[in-house]
Structure 1
Amino acid sequence: MPDPVAIAEPDWRARIRGSRLGNLTVLAVTALAVLIGSWLVMRPGDEAAPVAVSKVDVPGAAAAPVVGDQAPGFTATDLSGASVSLDGLRGRPVWLVFMATWCTGCRAEVPDVQGFHEQSGDEVEVIAVYVGEPATAVQPFADRLGLSFTQLPDGQTTLSSAYGVMGVPAHFFLDSAGVVQETRIGVLSPDQIDQAVAKVTV
């Protein structure tokens, strides 16, 4: 049997393979391809992208209300010392955002929450509930970020327990009758916020 004929490698390929610069070029092209592929799979705003959730300790937490449930009533004190109650908000949709000042996902999301509040005005009552945190922790956080929607410290986790919150950020969207129409866990994109709010403003 005749010996197999060796196929000569093109000169340009041999030169690249044998040079350090060529090796670096191949590595760079490969890395770029991986990055582009990753972006296509997990690009910003993709529904499949992972959401950031931080676990919180809420002793005796009840079962979280689900879509169709009447939202648990509450009365709490905001940063100005005013009383805020769910009964007093009847007739207006409410967006409850359970969060924490130390929560990375909450910090990333809160500018979009503030932006929605500024854009929507009084159409939806936006309320942030700070799980396990007193007013002394919440006030400087809200001041630093210029948050103008309602801020409720929940140092004793009373409100968080009533809503069964186990991780933050957690979102409950209530219609004008106080019925839960949407729940979400994790950081929401502006598009996801609009989609959820649409369910309580129809």
Structure 2
Amino acid sequence: MTYPSAPEFRGAQFGDIGLSFRITILATLFLLAFSSDSRATDLKRIDEPAKPDFSLPGLDGRLVPLTSFKGRTVLVHFFATWCAPCREELPALTRFFDRSAANVSVIAISVADADQRIKRFLEQTPVNFPVLLDRERTVAKSWNVSALPTTYLLDANLKPILVVESDFAWDTIEIAPATGKLIGNDAHAIKTTSDHSKQNQGGGDHGF
């Protein structure tokens, strides 16, 4: 049986100089787009050193290193099937990647989930980006993730520049193909994808 684990490196290959240049400036455009946006209270700017490198297995057992995405702007998304806001956010993140794969990669990291459980979940909620298994929470702990879902935006050098520690309304934003700039569809859009996050300080499941 095959599972909908999606292309492991969709959008990860690039060759021509023009595209490489666009990738280099994409993270800056991401930041500028949020510098005066009210949503920055949820997706906030950070200035931190690069997070610890990792290499985690996918559902097929193949190890995927974070460094394989160097040169791309990448979203690293921590989630779990036992986290209600996570389950509701993933379809929106999938639609965001559908619109934005030319400019950004997405890695989803399943935290402390049983393999069979995540496989069953992805049969019902397929995604179009790699899902990696952090069975012992090793990467989540090394990245100081204290709530789920948590999403980091890394620049082309894999340095974190934005973070959101709750579910986020990915349907409210898109990346303009011509410029790579992050734009909002609705300036007054709801910031989170469900009411679950309103029940927890910071928007996610804490203390996992």
Question: What TM bracket, shorter-length normalisation?
Answer: 0.5 to 0.7
Greater CA radius of gyration, 1 or 2?
1
Rounded to whole Å, the distance in 2 between the matches of 1:141 and 1:132 is: 14
- Name the CA shift for 1:93/1:188 in 2 (closer, same or farther; >3 Å): same
Gaps in structure 1 of 5+ consecutive residues: 1-45, 52-65
Shift of 1:125: 1.6
Aligned pair 1:183/2:173, yes or no? no
- Name the CA shift for 1:48/1:78 in 2 (closer, same or farther; >3 Å): closer
Structure 1 runs of 4+ aligned residues shifted over 4 Å read 46-49, 191-195
Question: 1:18-61 CA distances to partner (integer Å, 9 max, x unpaired)?
Answer: xxxxxxxxxxxxxxxxxxxxxxxxxxxx9599x8xxxxxxxxxx
Question: 1:158-197 CA distances to partner (integer Å, 9 max, x unpaired)?
Answer: 11111111110101100111110101111101266548x9
Matches within 5 A, 1:49-198: 66-190=46-170, 194=174
Q: What amino acid is aligned across from residue 152 of structure 1 in structure 2?
A: L
Rounded to whole Å, the distance in 1 between the matches of 2:149 and 2:124 is: 19
Rounded to whole Å, the distance in 2 between the matches of 1:48 and 1:161 is: 25
Shift of 1:83: 1.5
Rounded to whole Å, the distance in 2 between the matches of 1:131 and 1:141 is: 14
Shift of 1:67: 2.6
Shift of 1:88: 1.5
Identity of aligned residues (%): 27
- Name the CA shift for 1:129/1:149 in 2 (closer, same or farther; >3 Å): same
- In the superposition, the TM-score normalised over structure 1's length comes to 0.61
Q: What amino acid is aligned across from residue 123 of structure 1 in structure 2?
A: N
Rounded to whole Å, the distance in 1 between the matches of 2:160 and 2:181 is: 13
What is the number of equivalent residue pairs in this alignment?
A: 138
